[in-house]
Amino acid sequence: MSIEIRSAPHIKAPKSVETIMRHVVWSLMPVCAFFVFQYGLSALASLMVVTVSCLATERLIVRTGTQSGDISDYSAAITGLLLALSLPPGFPLWMGAVAGIVAIALGKALFGGIGFNVFNPALVGRAFVQAAFPQAIATYTPSFLPGRFHEMVPSSMTLPLMQPAAVADWLKAKHLDALAGATPLAKWKFEGILANADELLTSLSGHMAVGPSPALILVCGIYLAARRFMDWRIPAAILGSAGLTAWLLFALNDVRYPNPFFMLFSGGLILGAVYMATDMATSPVTPKGMWVYGALIGLLTVVIRYYSGLPEGVMYAILLGNAATPLIEKITQPTPFGKTAFALLGRQKKGASYSLHPGYISREDAGAVTPRKRFLSNKPKRDERKKPNE
């Protein structure tokens, strides 16, 4: 028996990137299954095409040998699934493929591959198609349409580079209101109609286009957090801050602003908070930073939803949060043991002259200044320093 001797930390059960990513994919499976049950063939095709385009792009880029990672680490699969879940189910498949390619190539590979991306790749892909095809991405179809397992939404099968077929006519032929496809947020913003709790939570009533079921996502998120594959602080901070902001505004003016429950459970806030904002490469690692990051995203989401021309703001809020992550990490660095938070601001203690000794100042640190003589009263003698080697 060989005993490996090594210094701390001794990790008993290593969690590799691949393990974590695999569990995230598993936890997404129920959400995807319900999404397909809700929207039928179109949703299934969309999930498959977007995921395959992500995987193919990843494989192609890894093959060039410029970066590590592979499709077997499941990270590209997560990007694909999340991207598909955040798009309308009847989104033209060729646009979905474009979104997948942009997500991996622009959102991930250009920054250096897995672990180096600054922005959540799925959201980069979604932001690109949002900017490129603003009409298609706002065209939702109601959930639980009759015959959804026999035929696809006509816009799904659009030929590449061509305009999607008009979904409104197709819905009219099914004796549905042309506006039935509006999302709850768009309905509230442009028509002033509030969806009720049942519709939002499970989307079982089928009158509205609510994306993947928030209740199911929350359950899956709780599983992930319980298994420690995800930090619970980020979703808690996002939902807390969005809920609090929405509640404050609702208390101020309950005619103009919807109730906080509607704010929390409509649109992509739950999906974004649980699965997208918690991407490990793009969120802060410090516990305090996670709270700041989540609070920022929640606040921005509510602000964009209420005061901008767009009905939904989760995507931009998370991307802005991603951009702020390095700064948040910098200002929330934990203080080392034995120091107070203000140690760096105040005067150095007298006995701590070792940190100013030129021998201890890193030669690589360009900003390192050789201190003046008076700080070096207790400097060790030259021969004293050499002693251990001889």
Return the ∠ at Cα 315 (arms to 310 and 318), rounded to 5°: 130
Tell me whether residue 134 or residue 380 sits nearer to another protein (CB atom).
134
Is the dihedral angle over the CA atoms 135, 238, 220, 55 positive or is it negative? positive
Decide whether 92 or 260 has the Cβ nearer to another protein.
92
CB of 157 to another protein, least distance (A): 14
Residue closer to another protein by CB (options 161, 341) is: 161
Question: Which of 86/213 has CB closer to another protein?
Answer: 86
- Between residues 32 and 98, which has the closer beta carbon with respect to another protein? 98
Q: How far apart are CA 272 and CA 295, in angstroms?
A: 13
As given in the structure block, the two tokens for residue 206 are: 């089928």
What is the Cα–Cα distance from 355 to 375, expressed in whole angstroms? 10
Tracing tokens 């070096």 back to the chain, one arrives at: 376
Q: Which is nearer to another protein, 107 or 214 (CB)?
A: 107
In terms of CB distance, is 131 or 369 closer to another protein?
A: 131
**CB of residue 107 to another protein, shortest distance in Å:** 12
Nearer to another protein, 118 or 222 (CB): 118
Count Cβ neighbours within 10 Å for each residue of 329-360 and write b for 16 or more, e otherwise.
beebeeeeeeeeeeeeeeeeeeeebeebeeee
Between CA 71 and CA 51 the distance in angstroms is 11
Q: Are 123 and 69 in contact (CB under 8 A)?
A: no
CB of 58 to another protein, least distance (A): 17
Q: Give the SS3 label for residue 378.
A: coil
Burial 43-58 (b: 16+ CB within 10 A, else e): bbbbbebbbebbbbbb
CB of 163 vs another protein, minimal distance in Å: 4
Please report how close the Cβ of residue 89 comes to another protein at its closest, in angstroms.
Answer: 18
CA 75 to chain centroid: 13
Q: In whole angstroms, how close is the CB of 37 to another protein at the nearest point?
A: 29
Residue type, 65: G
Q: Give me the least distance between CB of 132 and another protein, in Å please.
A: 4
* Cβ 319 to another protein shortest distance, Å: 13
Task: Quote the CA–CA distance of 209 and 186 in Å, as a whole number.
Answer: 10
Which residue ranges make up the site for another protein (CB under 8 A)? 92, 95, 106, 128, 131-134, 136, 158, 161-164
Q: Are 298 and 238 in contact (CB under 8 A)?
A: yes
